[in-house]
Structure 1
Amino acid sequence: MNIGRALVPLTAVAGLVALCACSTAGASGNDGRLKVTASFYPMQFLAEQIGGGHVDVTGLTKPGTEPHDLELTPRQTGELGESDVIVYLKGLQPAVDDAIAQSGVANTVDAAALTTLEDHGTEVDGQHHTTGDNHTGHEDEVGSPMPEARGASADPHIWLDPVRYAEVAEGVGKALAKADPGHEATYEKNTAALVKKLDALNTDFEDGLKNRTSDTFITTHAAFGYLAERYGLVEEAVNGIDPESEPSAARMKTLHTLAKDKGVSTVFFETLASDRTARTLAGDLGLKTAVLDPIEGITDKSAGRDYFEVQHGNLQALRAALGAK
């Protein structure tokens, strides 16, 4: 047998295999798209907007499900390990955090590490917390939260602040480009377009809330602290970060006094959490009720079909409640 002649086709085959492997690197789906798993809607929205037709995005939290309490099925846990990229927000969903730690997936994007997190309670006074550059005192450098801001009570609702959400978008865009360098230019273009829309949304909030007669609004749970800080508002929440916690009698008494002293006109409730306490408080004080959506998921009850439409609905609800002209 002529060994030299036999090596020629074997070498050709090896080269062909290597070429095929390179052409599909970073895209393990049957259709060649990058398989992305997102923990809940705000992360899913970013992946879809930035990835476009080059990604196949699966959301772990189904519409209408409260994301804080999500429990994964064995099938979801298994499929998580087949992802090319996972986009999540560490600390919001413990079951997801545990599954990701065991998944073995190399490309994981923690949104909490891409911006700053802070400890928020039932009251957030944006006028006192916000510094001159519209960032808060817990910040070391962009994308590098100080240790005290990552404690057990760290507020995860960063997506409700368009500026922080834009920071997360930029990080997600870089992660997709790293996992799928063949489409880097597209990811960069889509990220830039999304950040531009978020900048415009930030301007809409700034302009829309300028001429208001009140700064204080009441919500069922403390989801809007970052939004309050960004625009100099005061959020007073019936519950804390956990939407299912029950308010104390002392807290309810405080809210009664505060609503009268601050001229509060509206008590806001949400689409995915119980509105019982909010309606009770509003009834006791003769106040209006309205929806302020934390955008943890989009359902038929949402005031829009996506993040931007619902955020504009939130802006209009706040303008009405705060007497903005």
Structure 2
Amino acid sequence: MNPTRRALLKGGAGALAAGTVAGCLDDIDATNADLETGYAAFFTLWDWAEQVSGDAIEFENPVGAGQPGHGWSPSGDLTRNVADAGAFVYFDTPEFSWAQDIAATLESDYDTVAVIDGFEGLEGELLGWDHEVDIHAHDSEDDHGDETPDGHDHDQSSVDPHVWLDPVLAQDIVDTIASGLADADPDNAETYEENAATYTDDLAALDQRFEDLVDAADRQIAVFAGHDSFTYLQERYGFEIHTPTGVSPQEPSQSDISATTELVDEEGIETILYSPFEERDGQYPPLVNTILRDTDATDAMAITHLSGTLATWQDEGWGYLEQMEEINVPAFREALDAQ
């Protein structure tokens, strides 16, 4: 990825500042939407929309660097800015409720804006928040690439939205973005389709890297000092991430922490995983320090859920693929002892 590409220079904080413009939508003509610009609801969707659109459309990411995308809420009238653009890419899930609200307004009043739901077509693949990964179900499978998660029909409020962390399902989302843009802009349809095909090839290569990593692993369980956002990744490749909190963002109980420290020593785990969004002043989060203090583990490495980005990664020009390859793959290699 080119670290100087224009959207990195204009996205994030700049887009958020633009969203603070006051005013209602009454003075926006529904014919004014500009398909040369668009918005995406969080970092990964923004990166994929940029990859697919190329030079045809400039997408903005309203979520500033250092902020995770899910649970985020915009300040000011972001809806006004999105209505002025030509496309809006989002996930129809309560984890991005602000984006649901904007999409509903656009679909109701601004039919010139292409509203693209990345969840479209994935209903049978979505996992519930309470989904438990059975790593033994993968033991008899020869080809991870042909597997799909055992999804079920869920109420949207019970769906784990972190589907983008599965490189296989990510390919479907990228294709959905390309199809939505092609429908809205037939003159550039071939560009969107070709860009999507190139990018999904890269995602397929990432899928292979994870397959090879897990196949080479001496351990099938890792410990993550945070709430688990990686169920789709575990389900795809057949390993387990243990956390003191599970999927809950609440503080873990002392008994949960004790169970985690026992597991670390029982499994001989040396590297603890954590979220870099929880670092403060370059220091490990407190829970990491607790586990390192009370176990034989000697190291900690960050993994990212990719709903947001950090300023240092933004400066490097790292998108989804780069962060997966530079952050997550090395960390899981260490945690699972896949040397």
Query: Which category describes the TM-score, using the shorter chain as reference length?
Result: 0.7 to 0.9
Q: Mind listing any 5+ residue stretches in structure 2 that lack a counterpart?
A: 1-30, 280-284
Would the alpha carbon gap of residues 49 and 290 (structure 1) be closer, same or farther in structure 2, given more than 3 Å must change? same
Would the alpha carbon gap of residues 154 and 261 (structure 1) be closer, same or farther in structure 2, given more than 3 Å must change? farther
Distance 2:333 2:32 in 1: 45
1:176-226 superposed Cα distances (whole Å, 9 cap, x missing partner): 000101101111100100111101111111123322110101121211111
Please report how far the alpha carbon of residue 228 of structure 1 lies from its aligned counterpart in structure 2 after TM superposition: 1.3
What is the alpha-carbon root mean square deviation over aligned residues? 2.4
The structure 2 residue matched to 1:214, chosen from 210, 219, 222, is: 219
Distance 1:217 1:302 in 2: 24
Calculate the TM-score normalised by the size of structure 2: 0.77
Contact 1:77 1:99 in 2 (8 A): yes
1:151-175 superposed Cα distances (whole Å, 9 cap, x missing partner): 5332111111110111100111000
Would the alpha carbon gap of residues 42 and 127 (structure 1) be closer, same or farther in structure 2, given more than 3 Å must change? farther
Would the alpha carbon gap of residues 225 and 174 (structure 1) be closer, same or farther in structure 2, given more than 3 Å must change? same
For 1:310, the equivalent position in structure 2 comes to 323
Identity %: 25
Distance 1:285 1:105 in 2: 57
Distance 1:202 1:27 in 2: 41
1:153 matches 2:155 = no
Distance 1:223 1:207 in 2: 22
Would the alpha carbon gap of residues 114 and 64 (structure 1) be closer, same or farther in structure 2, given more than 3 Å must change? farther
Distance 1:249 1:112 in 2: 37
Q: Describe how 1:132-281 pairs up with structure 2 within 5 A.
A: 132=141, 133-138=146-151, 146-148=152-154, 150-219=155-224, 220-242=226-248, 244-274=249-279, 275-281=285-291
Amino acid at match of 1:64: G
The structure 2 residue matched to 1:85, chosen from 72, 77, 87, is: 87
1:298 matches 2:298 = no
Distance 1:123 1:266 in 2: 23
For 2:18, the equivalent position in structure 1 comes to none
Distance 1:41 1:159 in 2: 11
Please report how far the alpha carbon of residue 276 of structure 1 lies from its aligned counterpart in structure 2 after TM superposition: 2.0
Would the alpha carbon gap of residues 155 and 112 (structure 1) be closer, same or farther in structure 2, given more than 3 Å must change? same
Please report how far the alpha carbon of residue 301 of structure 1 lies from its aligned counterpart in structure 2 after TM superposition: 4.1
Please report how far the alpha carbon of residue 122 of structure 1 lies from its aligned counterpart in structure 2 after TM superposition: 8.9
Q: Describe how 1:86-101 pairs up with structure 2 within 5 A.
A: 86-91=88-93, 92-101=95-104
1:11-46 superposed Cα distances (whole Å, 9 cap, x missing partner): xxxxxxxxxxxxxxx9943xxx53221000010011
Q: Mind listing any 5+ residue stretches in structure 1 that lack a counterpart?
A: 1-25, 139-145
Would the alpha carbon gap of residues 300 and 123 (structure 1) be closer, same or farther in structure 2, given more than 3 Å must change? farther
Mean CA deviation greater in 38-47 or 291-300: 291-300
Calculate the TM-score normalised by the size of structure 1: 0.80
Contact 2:171 2:203 in 1 (8 A): yes
Distance 1:131 1:41 in 2: 36
Would the alpha carbon gap of residues 61 and 126 (structure 1) be closer, same or farther in structure 2, given more than 3 Å must change? farther
Would the alpha carbon gap of residues 66 and 228 (structure 1) be closer, same or farther in structure 2, given more than 3 Å must change? same
Please report how far the alpha carbon of residue 102 of structure 1 lies from its aligned counterpart in structure 2 after TM superposition: 2.3
For 1:16, the equivalent position in structure 2 comes to none
For 1:323, the equivalent position in structure 2 comes to 337
Distance 1:27 1:53 in 2: 20
Contact 2:70 2:307 in 1 (8 A): no
1:112 matches 2:119 = yes
Q: Which has the higher contact order (CA 8 A, sep 6+)?
A: 2
